[in-house]
């Protein structure tokens, strides 16, 4: 079990590294959190209530390099909290059960996790206040199973015994492809493909396929669109063999014990981020437009996928 902590106290100068987790934490960082039930207040809320504790899974951003994500988070939180004279702590988890335990015990106030992990701990989250990012025109992303056009593969059966590239942390994509395979009475990913290459991000998975290093790639539609804009030959040479319905890939959630007053403050900030010139610029660097408040119905497609996955797995 590994938990990495990034503790920052004073402001520092340096180059900004921007990713979606960094921008999300930037917005949440200036808001103090207080539990609603005084009897359950952690000591830190009483001793230093201006502290903010943020937890995220280490591989939540499968579209981004993990090293850059960590640097970006540290740099932005250092500057924001340092300028306010506040002390901050970001906790990066490799073990979702550890994150869930810390959330249940009020050791973290906000989380940034993939939607599948979120479904396992939604009882600890305020379900009326969920947030995500809009990339392009929508918050949803689809999972694409890409192949080369020149290979003339027209069905998933043509990939048996082949090699596939999958970004580390793309659990939504894995669940979708496993369902696709099991519905055709095939084994799951690790048994169906000869080799599964875990890449550091989605672009690397696409590049592997483009340069004939693998036979398929499991990515998001947003990543495929961006890669195609940068290199039009990618769209010319590659094609989606299968495509999922739209799903929310990641969620920002708030500890349900945060006071209603502060939840309302967060709502106000999140709804106006696109009006803030500085934040708008930061978001544009990774092609995001703004933050969006989600309804519970927005995660229903992911819930349906996981229900189907469990049903198929139990019937085997």
- Alpha-carbon span 60 to 311, nearest angstrom: 25
| 19 phi/psi in degrees, rounded to 5 | -140, 170
pLDDT score recorded for residue 153: 96
Contact 244, 190 (CB under 8 A): no
Q: Name which of 89, 218, 94, 76 is nearest 144 in CA terms.
A: 218
Distance of CA 50 to the CA centre of its chain: 26
pLDDT profile of the chain (316 residues), mean per 10: 42 40 51 46 52 79 62 52 59 92 89 91 93 80 96 96 95 96 96 96 94 97 91 97 94 84 74 69 65 90 95 93
Structure token digits, residue 62:
């499968």
Q: SS3 for 210?
A: helix
Domains of the chain (ranges plus CATH)? 3-138+248-296 (3.40.190.10), 143-243 (3.40.190.10)
- Residue holding tokens 């689809």? 142
What pTM was computed for the model?
0.80
pLDDT score recorded for residue 103: 93
- For the chain, report the end-to-end CA distance as a whole number of angstroms: 31
- Residue holding tokens 């990066």? 92
pLDDT score recorded for residue 16: 37
**What 8-state DSSP symbol labels residue 238?**
E
pLDDT score recorded for residue 99: 95
């Amino acid at each position: 079990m590994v938990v990495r902590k990034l503790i920052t106290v004073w402001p520092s100068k340096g180059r900004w590294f921007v990713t979606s987790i960094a921008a999300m934490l930037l917005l949440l960082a200036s808001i103090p959190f207080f539990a609603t039930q005084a009897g359950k207040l952690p000591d830190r809320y009483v001793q230093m209530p201006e502290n903010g504790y943020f937890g995220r899974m280490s591989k939540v951003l499968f579209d981004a390099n993990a090293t850059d994500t960590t640097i970006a988070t540290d740099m932005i939180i250092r500057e924001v909290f340092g300028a306010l004279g506040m002390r901050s702590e970001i906790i990066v988890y490799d073990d979702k059960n550890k994150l869930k335990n810390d959330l249940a015990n009020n050791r973290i106030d906000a989380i940034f996790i993939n939607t599948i992990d979120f479904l396992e701990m939604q009882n600890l989250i305020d379900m009326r206040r969920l947030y995500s990012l809009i990339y392009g025109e929508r918050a949803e992303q689809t999972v694409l199973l890409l192949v080369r056009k020149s290979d003339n593969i027209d069905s998933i059966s043509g990939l048996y015994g082949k090699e596939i590239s999958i970004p580390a942390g793309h659990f939504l994509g894995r669940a979708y492809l496993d369902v696709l395979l099991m519905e055709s009475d095939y084994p799951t990913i690790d048994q169906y493909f000869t080799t599964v290459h875990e890449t550091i991000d989605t672009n690397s998975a696409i590049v592997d396929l483009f340069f004939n290093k693998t036979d398929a790639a499991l990515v998001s539609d947003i990543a495929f669109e961006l890669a195609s804009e940068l290199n039009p030959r990618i769209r010319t040479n590659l094609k989606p063999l299968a495509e999922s319905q739209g799903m929310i890939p990641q969620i920002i959630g708030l500890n349900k014990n945060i006071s209603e007053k502060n939840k309302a403050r967060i709502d106000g900030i999140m709804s106006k981020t696109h009006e803030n010139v500085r934040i708008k610029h930061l978001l544009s660097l990774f092609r995001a437009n703004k933050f969006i408040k989600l309804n519970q119905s927005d995660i229903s497609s992911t819930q349906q996928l996981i229900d189907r996955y469990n049903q198929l797995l139990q019937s085997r």
